[in-house]
Chains A and B, each alone.
Chain A
Amino acid sequence: AQSVTQLDSHVSVSEGTPVLLRCNYSSSYSPSLFWYVQHPNKGLQLLLKYTSAATLVKGINGFEAEFKKSETSFHLTKPSAHMSDAAEYFCVSTGFQKLVFGTGTRLLVSP
């Protein structure tokens, strides 16, 4: 069965400092993994996706994630946070054509 675990429900950073949002997956086969972002009262936007090509995936808005099979992790990072990055972030896996969502991490960015 596919599942993802987001280790932090909330992450607080200061503007200009690095962002790390953690995600671990479990899968009986090599998964496709995604990170989506949801701004308040908005839909979801795809940040990046891993589909078994390069293990370091670059996404939009300066985000990237590294697939580490040995650690079953797919953590999301950004070198320098911006105020507009404040949102809910979901680590997502695929399972038989449906997406399996983590519980989300709320990123708070302070000036």
Chain B
Amino acid sequence: NAGVMQNPRHLVRRRGQEARLRCSPMKGHSHVYWYRQLPEEGLKFMVYLQKENIIDESGMPKERFSAEFPKEGPSILRIQQVVRGDSAAYFCASSPSSGDYNEQFFGPGTRLTVL
């Protein structure tokens, strides 16, 4: 059973370009979470999605960031018009169901560098 997969592992963009980060949850998991880790900091929650629905996006910046989890295919975190402050590691996690007692399984992350 493959774990949570994220690609690309490393992504370099110039200011103003778009970044697309992909996350394939573990088999059988229908809940996906995105977190951002800035250098020397802990992870910060961004968004929680179930298939075709955004459940909680309270951690998403109001502009330029969007996320989706379509019925088929991976979850996508999209950052438009990237700026240097978007440079960070972006982690995706998945769980089989909702609830605070459920473990979230993390992917290896995508490290975004904005030049």
Contacts and interface: CB of A to CB of B under 8 A. Distances in A.
B56 A97 contact: yes
Interface in B28-45: 33, 35, 41-45
A8 B79 CA distance: 33
B91 A44 contact: yes
Taking residues whose C-beta sits less than 8 angstroms from the other chain, chain B's interface range is 20 to 34
A32 B100 CA distance: 7
Interface string B10-42: 000000000000000000000001010000011
A48 to B, nearest CB: 10
A32 B101 contact: yes
Interface residues of A, number: 24
Contacts of B93: 99
Tell me which of B56, B98, B106 has the highest count of chain A C-beta atoms within 10 A of its own C-beta: B106
B94 to A, nearest CB: 12
A42 B99 CA distance: 26
B104 A103 contact: no
B45 A103 contact: no
B43 A94 contact: no
A23 to B, nearest CB: 12
21 contacts: A31-B100, A36-B106, A43-B4, A44-B106, A49-B101, A49-B103, A90-B42, A94-B100, A96-B56, A97-B48, A97-B100, A98-B59, A99-B43, A99-B93, A99-B104, A100-B45, A101-B44, A102-B42, A103-B41, A103-B42, A104-B42
Interface of B: 4, 33, 35, 41-45, 48, 55-56, 59, 91, 93, 98-101, 103-109, 111
